Amino acid sequence: MWSGPRNLSTAMMYAFAARGDCAVWDEPFYAAYLKATGIDHPMRDAIIAAHDTDAGRVSAACAGPAPGGKPLFYQKHMTLHMIDGFDRSFMRDCVNVFLIRHPARVVASYAQKREGPALADIGFVQQAELFDEVADWLGQAPIVIDSHDIRADPKTSLGALCAVLGVPFTDRMLSWPAGPKSFDGAWAPHWYNAVHASTGFGAPEGPLPDLPSEYRRLVDAALPFYERLARFGAQEAEG
């Protein structure tokens, strides 16, 4: 599952973990990305200390087998982590799904956790590049799902996703216990407060947030990439 930050990505990981037949991995390349780029993120040192920073080893592990002998393996990837030089060969052994969210919602949420985001921080450009790469070797567009549709009707949206993936849908995907999870990344204390308080997907989203001018410019820069992928989703993108 390829998304940018603040895309409902952790809730989706929790939903697949709740199935019982699915191993999950939370942002496998995050520590390697931080070490390789030198970028300053919240909890940077703790993340690097707790997780593998060798992108080659991470890539090999992403190719499987699934931990614990589970039949399914859900990997929550951030598109911005897949920088040049990281081995992407594992992607050909996976079904690649692209989770999108309107950039106004992403920017509003991200800015509450890390001020002053730039376009490179929110993953839209990288997501479009990865989408094109997968589409090129598939010969068709990969799967796209919009978090707006998931929030509007989780059962229908997840049911449709499971059908495309060829796995049975279960109502267990619609809820999970509150609190931290054993498979959370080391960054969870900073980023996962809201999802830790949840026991399922939130209510349908309301109008797009009103943002200050500098963030509106960021949204405008990201919007074409979102809209291009949204055309491949099950429903029309919100305006």
Q: Is the pLDDT of residue 112 over 60?
A: yes
Confidence of residue 113 (pLDDT cuts 50, 70, 90): confident
Residue-wise pLDDT for 174-191, tens only, equals: 999 999 999 999 999 999
Q: Which residue, among 73, 99, 114, 119, has the nearest Cα to 11 in the 3D structure?
A: 99
The reported pLDDT for the residue numbered 234 is 52
Q: How many CB atoms lie within 10 A of CB 115?
A: 7
User: Which tokens in the block code for residue 66?
Assistant: 């699934």
The reported pLDDT for the residue numbered 190 is 94
**Could you give the residue ranges of the DSSP H alpha helices within 38-123?**
44-50, 55-62, 103-113, 119-122
| Amino acid letter for position 5 | P
Compute, in degrees rounded to 10, the torsion defined by CA atoms 210, 215, 217, 221.
Answer: -100
- Per-chain mean pLDDT for the chain: 95
2-230 is a CATH 3.40.50.300 domain: yes
Q: Which residue, among 11, 6, 47, has the nearest Cα to 29 in the 3D structure?
A: 47
Residue-wise pLDDT for 23-53, tens only, equals: 999 999 999 999 999 999 999 999 999 999 9
pTM of the model: 0.95
Residue-wise pLDDT for 56-97, tens only, equals: 999 999 998 999 999 999 999 999 999 999 999 999 999 999
Burial of 169 (0-12, 13-18, 19+ CB in 10 A): middle
3-state secondary structure (DSSP) of residue 139: coil
Q: Which residue, among 163, 200, 204, 233, has the nearest Cα to 3 in the 3D structure?
A: 233
Confidence of residue 115 (pLDDT cuts 50, 70, 90): confident
| Amino acid letter for position 105 | R
Residue-wise pLDDT for 178-236, tens only, equals: 999 999 999 999 999 999 999 999 999 999 999 999 999 999 999 999 999 999 985 43
Q: Is the pLDDT of residue 172 over 50?
A: yes
The reported pLDDT for the residue numbered 153 is 97
The reported pLDDT for the residue numbered 18 is 98
The reported pLDDT for the residue numbered 169 is 98
Q: How many CB atoms lie within 10 A of CB 90?
A: 16
**What's the angle, vertex CA 135, arms to CA 134 and CA 140, rounded to 5?**
140
